[in-house]
């Protein structure tokens, strides 16, 4: 199975990037992170309010499934919005050991973003594909 935890997203949500002259006061993406968090809450997850991460954008801490598995989401504005949705385990992500709860949430999130009228042109990538000319895929999981 090929897992693509990175997505590039266009959205109609309000722009919440704040500048004061040449200084960036707040990087954008809070409204996008909040909307993604709300989708995950709809799946039964416990989701933190968006956490400001400066130039990295906004993060969500997530507990999913009956086992309350820790997941992580980050939304960054880099031209388009770039989102990563991962297990909260560097070792598991590096070795490609994906927990079934993570795979289920990733699949459900991919479908929800595709069906949500606020989001457009959602394309999924591996970390190696993200900043290349690869067109990405419409789903985050591939057999």
Q: Which residues does 17 contact at the CB level (< 8 Å), separation at least 6?
A: 24, 26, 27, 28, 29, 77
How much of the chain, in percent, has pLDDT values that exceed 70?
99
Higher pLDDT, 60 or 133: 60
pLDDT, one tens digit per residue, over 43-66 is: 999 999 999 999 999 999 999 998
Tokens describing residue 119: 């989001």
- Per residue in 62-105, pLDDT (tens digit) is 999 988 999 999 999 987 899 999 998 776 767 778 999 999 99
Helix, strand, coil percentages for the chain (3-state, nearest 5): 25, 40, 35
22, HSE (Cβ side, Cα atoms, 13 Å):
0
Mean pLDDT taken over the chain = 92
């Amino acid at each position: 199975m090929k897992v693509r935890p990175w997505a590039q997203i266009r959205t109609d949500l309000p722009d919440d990037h704040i500048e004061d002259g040449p200084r960036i006061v707040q990087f954008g993406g809070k409204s996008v992170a909040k909307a993604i968090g709300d989708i995950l809450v709809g799946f039964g997850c416990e989701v933190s309010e968006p956490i400001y991460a400066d130039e990295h954008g906004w993060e969500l801490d997530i507990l999913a499934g009956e086992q309350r598995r820790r997941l992580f989401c980050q939304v960054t504005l880099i031209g388009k919005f770039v989102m990563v949705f991962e297990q909260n385990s560097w070792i598991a992500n590096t070795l490609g050991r994906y927990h079934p709860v993570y795979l289920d949430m990733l699949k459900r999130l991919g479908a929800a973003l595709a069906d949500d009228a606020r989001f457009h042109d959602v394309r999924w990538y591996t970390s190696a594909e993200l900043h290349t000319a690869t067109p990405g895929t419409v789903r985050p999981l591939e057999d």
